[in-house]
Structure 1
Amino acid sequence: MPKVKKYSKEEAHQRQIDRVNEYNRTHKKEAYRNQKKSRARNFIKKDATREELEELRGLIDERLKEISKS
């Protein structure tokens, strides 16, 4: 059975960062979409006012109608 290399916390963290960066390089469209989706969710959860949420609700309803027509 092959020996499993153990990494220090710092090495493991750096390897994880490298893997994320590699994914983002190879999947640019998906990474960009995920970034936009995350920003939208955070805005809604943390910063949006009532008026902004009502506006977004209208935009979402319009978009759902467009999608259901296709």
Structure 2
Amino acid sequence: MPKVKKYTKEEAHQRQIDRVNEYNRTHKKEAYRNQKKSRARNFIKKDATREELEELRGLIDERLKEISKS
């Protein structure tokens, strides 16, 4: 049985970063969409005021109606 290479924490971390960057390069549309979703969630959770949340709720309701018609 071949030996499994053990990585230091730093090496493992760098390998993970490299894999994420490779995924982002090969899946540009998906990566961009994921970035937008993350930003939207963070805005809602951390920064949005009550008025902004109410506006977003209206926009979400409109979008759900559009999607359900399709």
TM-score (norm 2): 0.98
Q: Identify the residue that residue 9 of structure 1 maps to in structure 2.
A: 9
- The Cα of 1:64 is off from its aligned counterpart by 0.3
Structure 2 residues not aligned, in runs of 5+ = none
- Percent identical among aligned pairs is 99
CA distance in 2, matches of 1:8, 1:50: 46
- How many Å apart are 1:61 and its aligned residue? 0.3
Q: CA RMSD in A?
A: 0.4
- Cα distance, 1:28 vs structure 2: 0.5
CA offset digits 1:3-52 (Å, max 9, x no partner): 00001111111000000000000100000000000000000000000000
Counterpart Cα distance in 2 of 1:12 and 1:68: 44
Q: How many pairs were matched up?
A: 70
- TM superposition shift of 1:54: 0.3
Structure 1 segments of 4 or more deviating over 3 A?
none
Cα distance in 2 for residues equivalent to 1:8 and 1:57: 46
- Where do 5+ consecutive residues of structure 1 fail to align? none
CA–CA separation in structure 2 for the residues paired with 1:7 and 1:24 = 23
